């Protein structure tokens, strides 16, 4: 019975990791859209998403530098978002694999 409870905890943890990474990716993508369509950088929502991008997408900032800066930032933001989704999915799957087997599975 104890392993059923721990399996639920591991499954919940995997879901939380996947959702958090997806939300971070979504906010970075929203920032990319704002940049691409030249949203007002002084707008509160634009600044909010820029803060998330700077905090969680710093590793792709200025990675690609095409001649159009809007395209460059959109590409770099998109790559950061993709990395967050992939890493979140991989970590989530790893957590599920680490879930202890229930006693009924162990006997079989």
Helix (H) or strand (E) holding 78: helix 69-97
Q: What is the pLDDT of residue 4?
A: 78
- 28 contacts: CB under 8 Å, gap ≥ 6: 49, 52, 53, 56, 57, 77, 80, 81, 84
Q: What is the pLDDT of residue 100?
A: 79
Token pair for residue 3?
A: 């392993």
CB of 105 closer than 8 Å to CB of 7: no
Q: What is the pLDDT of residue 1?
A: 46
pLDDT in tens, 88-106: 999 999 999 988 776 554 4
pLDDT in tens, 27-73: 999 999 999 999 999 999 999 999 999 999 999 998 999 999 999 99
pLDDT in tens, 12-22: 999 999 999 99
């Amino acid at each position: 019975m104890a392993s059923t409870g721990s399996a639920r905890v591991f499954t919940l943890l995997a879901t939380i990791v996947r959702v958090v990474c997806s939300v971070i990716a979504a906010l970075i993508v929203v920032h990319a859209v704002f940049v691409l369509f030249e949203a007002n950088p002084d707008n509160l929502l634009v600044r909010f998403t820029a803060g998330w991008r700077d905090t969680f997408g710093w590793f792709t900032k200025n990675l690609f530098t095409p001649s159009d800066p809007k395209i460059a930032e959109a590409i770099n933001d998109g790559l950061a978002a993709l990395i967050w989704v992939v890493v979140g999915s991989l970590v989530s799957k790893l957590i599920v694999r680490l879930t202890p087997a229930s006693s009924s599975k162990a006997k079989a």
